[in-house]
Amino acid sequence: MQQQRERKFLCAGSNPVDPNCAGRHRTLWSFRFAALPIPLLASVYFDQQADNLDHGVSARTDGEPVTRTLQIIPRYGIASERGAQIVEFAVALPLLVVFVVGIFDFSNAFTLKQRLTNVARDAARAAASDPANDLQGASGGTNPVSVTDAFYIVDNYLLANHLTDCGITSTPTVTNLTWTFTASGNGCVAPGLMIIVNRGYYYPAVGGTAPSPTCVAQSSGGQIAVVSTCVSIQYAYPWRFGRAASILGFGTALPPQISAVAVSANEN
């Protein structure tokens, strides 16, 4: 037991007295540059301190104290881990930004489309329930009551929900029984706002398809045509996802407008 203690004393430190300890010293020197968990380093530290307490906590002529030698070990591992975390964060940050912007941008777009669809339905029902006797000769300059009702339902809904109406006015472009209102003012994103009211829209009773944003009537195909009112709203939406995706070098092709169409059969 006394010989083992003397051998530990001679082999301790960075410059052991016993030349037979060279292999053990080289093993400890290469071990200093290994990245080890802190719990393992703590166990090595306390084990060495318990075995050679009188020489492990004070400086010796043959080398540095054990406490200082073992405390140097974790510095390399912690520094490398911090550097790896910074690199991982720098790589993941652009992708995270694209995901967050995409979530908010697309959710706002879907919400806007749902709102426009609801108001288009209300406007189509209101116009379809109005009399149609004022449609004849309506292209002379005065808007029919049904068209005026549909226009103001949409316009008032936009203003009530804090959505810009792009400075739209009740002066449309008339083509047959289709009234088209357009505007792009008041800081509205191009191409602005477009409201289409087609009081003479029709579709086949069987085999009809979904209406287009332009409210162009469908071909009856020799079947009975259902005469209806079509209201279309095309609202410019300022996409932010495209700019976020450009950070990663990707291009996007997103629609410049959010469209909503509703059709209601004429009652009169």
pLDDT for residue 257 is more than 80: yes
Region of poorest pLDDT, from 76-85, 149-158, 169-178, 233-242: 76-85
pLDDT score for 28: 43
CA distance 196 to 229: 10
Instruction: Name every residue whose Cβ is closer than 8 Å to that of residue 125 and which is 6 or more positions away in sequence.
Output: 264
pLDDT for residue 55 is more than 60: no
Residues 12, 15, 31, 82: what is their CA dihedral angle, to the nearest 10 degrees? Answer: 110
Average pLDDT over residues 211-236: 93
pLDDT score for 136: 72
CA distance 46 to 41: 9
Is there a contact between 132 and 116 (Cβ–Cβ < 8 Å)?
no
The CA radius of gyration of the chain, in Å to the nearest whole number, is 40
**When comparing pLDDT for 113 and 76, which is higher?**
113
The CA-atom distances, in angstroms, between 164 and each of 84, 113, 186, 188 are 48, 15, 7, 7
Please state, for a pLDDT cut of 90, what percent of the chain lies above it.
Answer: 46
Q: The pTM is what?
A: 0.66
Most confident stretch, 2-11, 138-147, 224-233? 224-233
Average pLDDT over residues 251-255: 85
Neighbours of 237 (CB within 10 A): 16
Q: What's the pLDDT band for 1 if we cut at 50, 70, 90?
A: low
What share of residues in the chain are helix, strand, coil (percent, to 5)? Answer: 50, 15, 35
pLDDT score for 13: 55
Neighbours of 22 (CB within 10 A): 11
